[in-house]
Amino acid sequence: MIEGSIVNLRAFDIDDAARMFRWRNDAEVVEYLNVRYPTPLVREGDFMRRRGTAPQSFTNAHFVVETKDGLPIGHV
C-alpha cells in the first residue's frame, strides 16, 4: 500500500471486480473516458485476474484509490 496524506493506493483485489463493473457501466462515471460500450462482469473479473498476476512496473501499475477510512473511490 502507498499511503498519502488524503488517500491511499493499494493493489487490485478480485473482490474489487463488482465495484469496477458498476463504475465502468455508469454513464456518468465514464462520460469523459475512452469507454464506449458496456462491460460484462466476467470481463471485469478477467481484467482483475490479469492485473493480479502481472508484475507491477512503471509501464504496468494499477491501483485502487481509497479514502483513509478504506472506502474505494476510484482507480488509477
What lies within 8 Å, CB to CB, of 48 at 6+ separation is: 12, 13, 14, 16, 17, 20
Specify the pLDDT at position 73.
93
Partner residues linked to 60 by β-bridges: 57
Go through 23-44 and write b for each residue having 16 or more CB atoms within 10 A of its CB, e for each that does not.
bbbeeeeeeeeeeeeeeeeeeb
pLDDT tens, the chain, 76 aa long: 899 999 999 988 878 888 888 888 888 888 888 877 787 888 877 777 776 677 778 877 888 999 999 999 988 8
Specify the pLDDT at position 68.
97
Strand duo 64-67 + 72-75: pairing: antiparallel
Specify the pLDDT at position 52.
66
Query: pTM of the prediction?
Result: 0.74
Helices then strands, counting H and E runs in the chain, come out as 3, 4
